[in-house]
Amino acid sequence: MIGRLLAQRYRLEEKVGAGGMAEVYKATDTLLGRTVAVKILRSQYASDAEFVRRFRREARAAASLTHPNVVNVYDVGSDGDVHYIVMEYVEGITLKELIRKTAPLPPAAAALIAREVAEALGHAHRRGLVHRDIKPHNILLTADGRVKVTDFGIARAAASATLTETGIVLGSVHYFSPEQARGEPAVAVSDIYSLGVILYEMVTGRLPFTGESPVAVALQHIQQEPTPVRYWNHRVPRGLEQIIERCLAKDPGRRYHDAGELLADLEPLAEGATLTELIEACREGQDLDQKEAANGRGEDGPQATRRYEGDEELWTAPGQSEVAGDGQETLEAPPAGRRRRLGIGVAILVGLAALVAFGSQFVWPQLFPARVRVPDVVGLTREDAQRVLQERRLRLGVDDVEVYSNEYPAGTVISQDPPANTPVRENRTVWVRLSKGPEMVEVPDVIGMTRRQAEAYLAENGLKGEVRGYQFSDRIPQEAVVEQAPAAGGFLQRGATVDLIISQGPPPPAQLTVPDVRGKTLDEARTLLEGQGLKAGNVWTDFRPELPDGVVIEQTPPPEEQVEAGSSVDLVVNQLGGESPPPSSDASPGWGAIYP
């Protein structure tokens, strides 16, 4: 792999780590000219299309996290049959290395590390992501004392498969929560329990639970209380011991409800602490060990292979290389030259024979279960989905994030992974996501907004606006919303429509019929017009000897014409009085005096 250019972009420079699921390479992003870490899925998992699909989906979810205490995921992709994740390259050591070299850590330093990890967990939990595999091997420490958590989402990709399908690394059982040990889905407080185990290990130099097998350790997580921290290290403040005890509560409801609550308690204990000296001392110790190993001067002589045992035993599934977890160092088997007493050897052989007999009847079906097809549980309630899956000898896993749906009622399954009819092995976990039902949003007030403003504001609130009509309004300007239905303060399903009525501005003046005022005196005409909502306009005189004196003989507009209220009607009044008649009866009015 060294020297290979993935996706015509990432050049692999050197192998820097290996774990149960993947190998990690230091690489160069040739497009952006930066150093990155590339995690490449092992071939036995890359051939499982369903596993790869889940692996890519969870990696993309992890890529949504942006936080100083989270190792950033830059890219997820494939090149031929090579599937990879591109991550931020962090120069430093793992917390596991620090514990091996310097534990027990100063309580303040341990509280500081836990605080930084809790910051990362809080950021992820608020976005619906649970890590599920918090352990010291997944916590990186830089030379300048920064703490970063890696592998968000990757544990979820492996959690749905059986032991033989994924080669699950059993070393992580030391950090499992009781609910994970029982085979139940991990939730946010499961990560808090795992962080409690890490805190315990940092301040005591030992794990709270150890045993001769993974099952033995898992049962202790479920059934036993750990030895009090201050029994091993009396310098641990009582306040920090109480924090650890609360994190390690068997009942999830008795733990810290969220990472923010844990942060508040850790803050005063971490005040003034630094990590740089501890990390520097650890790195110097590493260099010394490497020199001694090169010169054949390890503590056990030339044949010694350095292992960290402490209180942590490491196990592997049959046929797997001995690894403690993704990102952990590969460990060699202990020297074969150790002598065993004959009696002990015989006892072991007898025990192995009994174990084989027992395993052929009980264990083998668990390691190599039969294949079944995943039933369709979309649309079922959680209880019905669990019953249907159990009938096929499958497990139900419920996603931490519920989603709104207009199609599926609250509490029913909206999606499942793997999909229906996918062939899988028995005991596989089928992950489902539950509906929260339709999302209801409050209707905002858009009265007085322009049509475009109202539609945009409704869209921001998850609604649509649709014009249903127009009406005149004295109080709302033209083209603005004068009415809405439903009214502001009500609730609608997200995506529903709010009906809008748009203002046409003030209504036009009323149309009135001009009365006939001809033959009436000027005063009578004025009175009649005012009574109809009109008024007399210009008044001229004319000479018509054949008509009575002093009466209106013409009007403009003429009778029966429609005019706006308040309009003026011009009048011509007949004036005899012995004056000379106009030169022509066809002349325009206005020759005579205009009445005031």
Active site residues: 133
Please name the residues in contact with 39: beta carbons below 8 A apart, sequence gap of 6 or more: 22, 23, 24, 84, 85, 87
HEC secondary structure over 419-452: CCCCEEECCCEEEEEEECCCCEEECCCCCCCEHH
* φ/ψ of residue 140, rounded to 5: -105, 145
| N-terminal to C-terminal alpha carbon distance within the chain | 110
- Closest by CA position to 268, among listed 297, 305, 243: 243
Rounded distance between C-alpha atoms, residue 248 and residue 243, angstroms = 9
Both structure tokens of 285:
């110790």
- Alpha carbon separation from 549 to 232, 316, 439, 488, 519 (Å, rounded): 129, 128, 83, 67, 10
Cis peptide before 252 (omega within 30 of 0): no
Look at the block and give the residue holding tokens 């492996």. 158
Residues near 204 by beta carbon (within 8 Å), at least 6 away in sequence: 103, 104, 229, 232, 233, 236
Q: Supply φ then ψ for residue 259, to 5 degrees.
A: -65, -30
User: Could you tell me which of 16, 160, 38 has the C-alpha nearest to residue 94?
Assistant: 16
Among 36, 25, 61, smallest CA distance to 152 is for 61
Cα gap 276→298, rounded to integer Å: 27
d(CA 157, CA 89): 22
Helix (H) or strand (E) holding 467: strand 464-471
Q: Using the 8-state DSSP alphabet, how is residue 412 labeled?
A: B
DSSP 284-325: HHHHHHHHHHHTT--TT-TT------TT------TT---BSS
